[in-house]
Amino acid sequence: MSEDMPKIEGRRSKEELPPCSVEVFDIKKARFDDVKDDVMKIEGLAFDGKGYEEDIMREDFENPQAVIILLRNKDSQQIIGYVDATPASEEVINIDSTALNPEYQRYGLVWEMMKELDEELKKRGYKYMTRDAKIEGGYAASVERFYGERIVEKSDHDSDYGPQRYMKIKF
């Protein structure tokens, strides 16, 4: 785990960290149906049953332009988190969803997924990524600490998921 992750109150110790691996979902080697059960379970748990419907998730996972990052428990190979990003333009990609099984939260694992996403997006030539982050619970503040001066635009707004902070982040 990296030391450059934002400090989060209540973070669990590294000794408690389950063995995990981060990977880019490759549509040429896998199908949504291969990961559907784990992904939909996480979507439901992470968003209190208010997450995206299966058809929306399928559309993103089957989109060759989308960038999907998966986090797996190395022991069970179960998917325990993911980031789903789809292009908004040639230069901008939007993070549609970041979700982590609540049992694995507070280890800083989301930042491991975000670092992998950053690397993949740079390889693909994106200049910016945009995202919303939930203000309640401190996630938006954690995103701001993680990206710091790379954030070039931000604004707060209401959503079905509660107050959110929109951010545009440069590479």
Rounded CA separation 79/59 (Å):
19
Question: The tokens 């590294």 sit on which residue?
Answer: 14
Structural domains in the chain, CATH included, are 17-126 (3.40.630.30)
pLDDT (tens digit per residue) in 122-148: 999 999 999 999 999 999 999 999 999
**Of the candidates 99, 161, 167, which has an alpha carbon nearest to the alpha carbon of residue 132?**
167
**For the whole prediction, is pTM greater than 0.95?**
no
Q: Which among 117, 104, 77, 131 has a CA at the least distance from the CA of 12? A: 104
> What does the pLDDT look like over 65-94, one tens digit per residue?
999 999 999 999 999 999 999 999 999 999
Instruction: Answer yes or no: is pLDDT of 9 > 60.
Output: no
